[in-house]
Amino acid sequence: MSKEPNSRAGKTSGRGQRDLKVRVKTAKGRKMSSKLWLERQLNDPYVARAKREGYRGRAAYKILELDDKYRFLVPGARVVDLGCAPGGWCQVAVARVNALGEKSGKKVGRVLGLDLQEVDPIAGAEIHQLDFLSDGADDLVKEWLGGPADVVMSDMAASSSGHKGTDHLRIVALVEAAAQLAFDVLEPGGTFVAKVLAGGAETEMQAMLKRNFTKVANVKPPASRSDSSEKFVVATGFRGRQDEVDQDED
């Protein structure tokens, strides 16, 4: 028989249930940062939801929310996910572009995931262990997709150095590199989505995207933690590569 909760154990919310928060004791030898990370994970509703719904991580909800707003993962779309591990974005893309052909009467899309590390298979996605910066990566991507991509997306982040300014510069450089691949593989009208960190050094990167896309938006989806400096750039309406040309008149 279940016991009634002790009224002194916690306050009752307006929903008729106690608002419980998991606290983690700091074990001997465990760093405070690790304790805080674990405590945050245990109390994160997106982490719990991801487990219930079968996603490989809470990041899946970021791309879900971005796509709900901008509608780029449509049935039939060919999608490239850069730095796809652990695979949550691929899982979302597979369902939305109908890569498994489960939506009767809808076009069947393709999902291609690339990562430096090995990624466990995902039904409906083709995963390759590849450095997208390597020579010929764009040709391989188009070969594997069977043509140009409609969407190139990236949730990549550079390894943290512990220095905020350095980390910001690194991720901006990573986004610029991902954008260069997108320029080589995207179909005209295509979409580029990438994570960036707010920090003020992305002016040139934003200008580059505005030259190559008809619209560039900067968004912080609800699933992005409020204490994080991350945001996402969503560039739509690829114009075809527009290289900057300096013309100095004599």
19 is an annotated ligand-binding site residue: no
**155 assigned to a ligand binding site:** yes
Spatial CA neighbour of 43 closest among 56, 54, 58, 28: 58
What count of other Cβ atoms lies within 10 Å of the Cβ of residue 231? 16
SS (H, E, C) the chain: CCCCCCHHHCCECCCCCECCCCCCCCCCCCCHHHHHHHHHHHCCHHHHHHHHHCCCCCCHHHHHHHHHHHCCCCCCCEEEEECCCCCHHHHHHHHHCCCCCCCCCCCCCEEEEEECCCCCCCCCEEEEECCCCCCCHHHHHHHHHCCCEEEEEECCCCCCCCCHHHHHHHHHHHHHHHHHHHHHHEEEEEEEEEEEECCCCCHHHHHHHHHHEEEEEEECCCCCCCCCCEEEEEEEEECCCCCCCCCCCC
Residue 37 assigned as binding residue: no
| Burial of 240: CB neighbours in 10 Å, binned 0-12, 13-18, 19+ | exposed
Q: Is 250 annotated as a binding residue?
A: no
Catalytic residue numbers, as ranges: 195
Q: Is 115 annotated as a binding residue?
A: yes
- Is residue 162 classed exposed, middle or buried when 0-12, 13-18 and 19+ CB atoms within 10 A define those classes? exposed
- Residue list for the binding site: 87, 89, 115, 131, 155
- Residue list for the binding site for S-adenosyl-L-methionine: 87, 89, 115, 131, 155
